[in-house]
A and B are shown apart, each in its own frame.
Chain A
Amino acid sequence: QVQLQESGPGLVKPSETLALICSVSGDSISNDNYYWAWVRQPPGKGLQWIGSKSYSGNTYYNPTLKSRLTASIDTSKSQFSLRLASVTAADTAVYFCARQTNGNNYGSYWNFDLWGRGTLVTVSS
Protein backbone atom coordinates (compact mmCIF):
# COMPACT_ATOMS: atom_id res chain seq x y z
CA GLN A 1 0.00 0.00 0.00
CA VAL A 2 1.56 3.28 -1.14
CA GLN A 3 1.52 6.10 1.39
CA LEU A 4 2.65 9.70 1.36
CA GLN A 5 3.50 11.60 4.54
CA GLU A 6 4.28 15.29 4.74
CA SER A 7 6.53 16.81 7.36
CA GLY A 8 7.17 20.46 7.96
CA PRO A 9 7.80 23.21 10.52
CA GLY A 10 4.24 24.18 11.36
CA LEU A 11 5.20 27.82 11.89
CA VAL A 12 7.39 29.99 9.68
CA LYS A 13 8.27 33.65 10.10
CA PRO A 14 7.53 36.15 7.33
CA SER A 15 10.35 36.56 4.79
CA GLU A 16 11.85 33.17 5.72
CA THR A 17 11.93 30.00 3.63
CA LEU A 18 9.38 27.24 4.07
CA ALA A 19 10.78 23.74 3.67
CA LEU A 20 8.56 20.68 3.38
CA ILE A 21 9.34 17.01 2.90
CA CYS A 22 7.12 14.23 1.62
CA SER A 23 8.12 10.66 2.44
CA VAL A 24 6.97 7.94 0.06
CA SER A 25 6.49 4.37 1.24
CA GLY A 26 5.24 1.30 -0.58
CA ASP A 27 6.50 2.30 -4.03
CA SER A 28 9.66 3.51 -5.69
CA ILE A 29 9.94 7.26 -6.08
CA SER A 30 11.88 6.46 -9.26
CA ASN A 31 8.78 4.95 -10.86
CA ASP A 32 8.53 6.54 -14.30
CA ASN A 33 4.75 6.27 -14.20
CA TYR A 34 4.50 9.18 -11.78
CA TYR A 35 5.40 12.73 -11.01
CA TRP A 36 5.51 13.99 -7.43
CA ALA A 37 3.55 17.11 -6.66
CA TRP A 38 2.62 19.71 -4.08
CA VAL A 39 -0.84 21.26 -3.69
CA ARG A 40 -1.89 23.73 -1.03
CA GLN A 41 -5.16 24.89 0.47
CA PRO A 42 -5.45 28.15 2.43
CA PRO A 43 -7.83 27.91 5.39
CA GLY A 44 -11.42 27.79 4.18
CA LYS A 45 -10.40 28.08 0.53
CA GLY A 46 -9.84 25.88 -2.50
CA LEU A 47 -6.94 23.86 -3.86
CA GLN A 48 -3.94 25.42 -5.58
CA TRP A 49 -1.35 23.42 -7.49
CA ILE A 50 2.20 24.45 -6.54
CA GLY A 51 4.55 22.28 -8.58
CA SER A 52 5.35 18.84 -9.96
CA LYS A 53 8.61 16.99 -10.49
CA SER A 54 9.67 13.66 -11.94
CA TYR A 55 12.60 11.64 -10.67
CA SER A 56 14.27 12.16 -14.05
CA GLY A 57 14.30 15.90 -13.43
CA ASN A 58 11.36 17.30 -15.36
CA THR A 59 9.87 20.08 -13.26
CA TYR A 60 6.80 22.26 -13.59
CA TYR A 61 5.96 25.15 -11.31
CA ASN A 62 2.88 27.33 -10.84
CA PRO A 63 3.86 30.57 -12.63
CA THR A 64 2.51 32.66 -9.77
CA LEU A 65 4.97 31.01 -7.36
CA LYS A 66 7.81 30.00 -9.67
CA SER A 67 10.27 32.70 -8.65
CA ARG A 68 10.16 31.50 -5.02
CA LEU A 69 10.03 27.73 -5.53
CA THR A 70 12.54 24.91 -5.53
CA ALA A 71 11.45 21.27 -5.76
CA SER A 72 13.77 18.31 -5.40
CA ILE A 73 13.74 14.53 -5.12
CA ASP A 74 16.04 12.37 -2.99
CA THR A 75 15.73 8.85 -4.33
CA SER A 76 18.04 7.41 -1.66
CA LYS A 77 15.61 8.51 1.05
CA SER A 78 12.44 8.07 -1.05
CA GLN A 79 11.53 11.67 -0.34
CA PHE A 80 10.62 14.71 -2.33
CA SER A 81 10.78 18.22 -0.99
CA LEU A 82 9.64 21.77 -1.55
CA ARG A 83 11.23 25.06 -0.62
CA LEU A 84 9.22 28.27 -0.83
CA ALA A 85 11.22 31.44 -0.22
CA SER A 86 10.18 34.84 1.13
CA VAL A 87 6.93 33.65 2.63
CA THR A 88 4.12 35.95 3.69
CA ALA A 89 0.83 35.44 5.50
CA ALA A 90 -0.72 34.60 2.12
CA ASP A 91 1.33 31.39 2.12
CA THR A 92 -0.48 30.12 5.21
CA ALA A 93 -2.16 26.89 4.11
CA VAL A 94 -2.42 23.15 4.44
CA TYR A 95 0.23 21.74 2.15
CA PHE A 96 -0.45 18.37 0.53
CA CYS A 97 1.99 16.19 -1.31
CA ALA A 98 0.49 14.05 -4.04
CA ARG A 99 1.36 11.42 -6.59
CA GLN A 100 0.54 12.48 -10.12
CA THR A 101 0.17 10.11 -13.04
CA ASN A 102 2.67 10.81 -15.81
CA GLY A 103 0.58 12.00 -18.72
CA ASN A 104 3.51 11.47 -21.08
CA ASN A 105 2.90 7.73 -20.69
CA TYR A 106 0.17 5.93 -22.58
CA GLY A 107 -2.96 5.52 -20.48
CA SER A 108 -2.09 8.22 -17.95
CA TYR A 109 -3.79 11.57 -17.72
CA TRP A 110 -1.95 13.82 -15.27
CA ASN A 111 -4.44 13.36 -12.44
CA PHE A 112 -3.46 13.27 -8.77
CA ASP A 113 -4.24 9.72 -7.73
CA LEU A 114 -2.81 9.58 -4.23
CA TRP A 115 -2.47 12.24 -1.57
CA GLY A 116 -0.80 12.72 1.77
CA ARG A 117 -2.88 13.85 4.74
CA GLY A 118 -1.51 17.38 4.56
CA THR A 119 0.39 19.57 6.98
CA LEU A 120 -0.67 23.01 8.17
CA VAL A 121 1.92 25.74 7.76
CA THR A 122 1.26 29.09 9.39
CA VAL A 123 3.29 32.15 8.45
CA SER A 124 3.43 34.50 11.40
CA SER A 125 5.94 36.41 13.45
Chain B
Amino acid sequence: SYELTQPVSVSVALGQTATITCGGSNLGTKYVHWYQQQPGQAPLLVIYRDSDRPSGIPERFSASNSGTTATLTISRAQAGDEADYYCQVLDNYIWVFGGGTKLTVL
Protein backbone atom coordinates (compact mmCIF):
# COMPACT_ATOMS: atom_id res chain seq x y z
CA SER B 1 0.00 0.00 0.00
CA TYR B 2 1.09 3.55 -0.71
CA GLU B 3 2.69 5.48 2.14
CA LEU B 4 3.35 9.17 2.79
CA THR B 5 6.08 10.17 5.21
CA GLN B 6 6.01 13.42 7.17
CA PRO B 7 8.25 14.66 9.99
CA VAL B 8 6.57 14.30 13.35
CA SER B 9 7.26 17.87 14.35
CA VAL B 10 8.58 21.14 12.96
CA SER B 11 9.34 24.33 14.87
CA VAL B 12 9.47 27.87 13.53
CA ALA B 13 10.13 31.22 15.12
CA LEU B 14 7.32 33.74 15.02
CA GLY B 15 7.44 35.65 11.74
CA GLN B 16 9.83 33.21 10.08
CA THR B 17 9.21 30.60 7.37
CA ALA B 18 8.13 27.04 8.15
CA THR B 19 8.68 24.15 5.78
CA ILE B 20 6.85 20.84 6.11
CA THR B 21 7.74 17.96 3.82
CA CYS B 22 5.78 14.96 2.61
CA GLY B 23 7.59 12.06 0.97
CA GLY B 24 6.33 9.25 -1.19
CA SER B 25 7.25 7.10 -4.14
CA ASN B 26 6.86 9.01 -7.41
CA LEU B 27 4.93 11.61 -5.47
CA GLY B 28 5.48 14.17 -8.20
CA THR B 29 3.18 12.18 -10.48
CA LYS B 30 0.27 12.56 -8.06
CA TYR B 31 -1.73 15.56 -6.89
CA VAL B 32 -0.96 16.42 -3.26
CA HIS B 33 -3.41 18.17 -0.97
CA TRP B 34 -2.64 19.69 2.43
CA TYR B 35 -4.86 20.07 5.48
CA GLN B 36 -4.46 22.08 8.65
CA GLN B 37 -6.00 20.73 11.85
CA GLN B 38 -6.22 22.91 14.92
CA PRO B 39 -6.59 21.08 18.26
CA GLY B 40 -10.07 19.69 18.71
CA GLN B 41 -11.23 20.83 15.28
CA ALA B 42 -11.90 19.32 11.90
CA PRO B 43 -9.22 19.45 9.21
CA LEU B 44 -9.23 22.44 6.89
CA LEU B 45 -8.05 22.26 3.28
CA VAL B 46 -5.23 24.77 2.82
CA ILE B 47 -3.66 23.58 -0.45
CA TYR B 48 -5.08 21.43 -3.26
CA ARG B 49 -3.63 20.18 -6.52
CA ASP B 50 -0.04 20.56 -5.31
CA SER B 51 -0.03 24.35 -5.00
CA ASP B 52 -3.50 25.90 -5.32
CA ARG B 53 -5.05 27.75 -2.40
CA PRO B 54 -8.79 27.55 -1.68
CA SER B 55 -10.63 30.79 -1.28
CA GLY B 56 -9.92 32.34 2.10
CA ILE B 57 -6.51 30.75 2.64
CA PRO B 58 -3.79 33.41 3.06
CA GLU B 59 -1.09 33.79 0.43
CA ARG B 60 1.41 32.98 3.18
CA PHE B 61 0.57 29.34 2.50
CA SER B 62 2.29 27.92 -0.56
CA ALA B 63 3.36 24.47 -1.71
CA SER B 64 5.16 22.51 -4.37
CA ASN B 65 5.52 18.90 -5.47
CA SER B 66 8.30 17.27 -7.44
CA GLY B 67 10.09 13.95 -7.56
CA THR B 68 9.48 12.15 -4.29
CA THR B 69 8.79 15.16 -2.08
CA ALA B 70 6.00 17.66 -1.64
CA THR B 71 6.59 20.74 0.47
CA LEU B 72 4.23 23.04 2.33
CA THR B 73 5.69 26.46 3.10
CA ILE B 74 4.21 28.88 5.59
CA SER B 75 5.71 32.35 5.39
CA ARG B 76 5.66 34.90 8.20
CA ALA B 77 4.45 32.27 10.62
CA GLN B 78 1.84 33.38 13.12
CA ALA B 79 0.77 31.91 16.44
CA GLY B 80 -2.49 30.88 14.81
CA ASP B 81 -0.61 28.65 12.36
CA GLU B 82 0.32 26.31 15.19
CA ALA B 83 -1.49 23.10 14.25
CA ASP B 84 -1.13 19.64 12.77
CA TYR B 85 -0.64 19.48 9.01
CA TYR B 86 -1.44 16.47 6.84
CA CYS B 87 -0.61 15.75 3.23
CA GLN B 88 -2.95 13.54 1.20
CA VAL B 89 -2.93 11.81 -2.18
CA LEU B 90 -5.00 9.38 -4.21
CA ASP B 91 -3.46 6.03 -5.12
CA ASN B 92 -5.60 3.58 -7.11
CA TYR B 93 -8.82 4.90 -5.60
CA ILE B 94 -7.43 4.68 -2.09
CA TRP B 95 -7.11 8.03 -0.38
CA VAL B 96 -3.96 8.17 1.71
CA PHE B 97 -2.95 10.65 4.40
CA GLY B 98 0.51 11.29 5.73
CA GLY B 99 1.10 10.73 9.41
CA GLY B 100 0.86 14.43 10.15
CA THR B 101 3.32 17.09 11.29
CA LYS B 102 2.88 19.17 14.42
CA LEU B 103 3.95 22.74 13.73
CA THR B 104 5.07 24.70 16.77
CA VAL B 105 5.46 28.47 16.51
CA LEU B 106 8.03 29.68 19.01
Contact = CB atoms under 8 A, between A and B. Distances in A.
B88 A112 contact: yes
B45 A111 contact: yes
Given A46-B97, A49-B95, A111-B48, A96 B42 contact: yes
Interface of B: 1, 31, 33, 35, 37, 41-45, 48-49, 54, 86, 88, 90, 93-100
B33 A116 contact: no
Given A37-B95, A110-B31, 13 more contacts: A39-B43, A47-B35, A47-B37, A47-B43, A52-B95, A60-B93, A60-B94, A103-B90, A111-B49, A112-B43, A113-B48, A115-B44, A116-B42
B49 A112 contact: no
A77 to B, nearest CB: 22
Chain B contact residues, majority secondary structure = strand
A90 to B, nearest CB: 17
Nearest to A60: B93
A111 B43 contact: no
Given A47-B100, A109-B48, A111-B88, A96 B43 contact: yes
Contacts of A116: 42
Interface of A: 37, 39, 46-49, 52, 60, 62-63, 96, 100, 103, 109-113, 115-118
Nearest to B97: A47
A49 B96 contact: yes
A39 B49 CA distance: 20
B42 A113 contact: no
Given A46-B86, A115-B43, A109 B33 contact: yes
B97 to A, nearest CB: 4
Given A62-B94, A110-B90, A111-B33, A117 B100 contact: no
Contacts of B48: 109, 111, 113
A110 B95 CA distance: 9
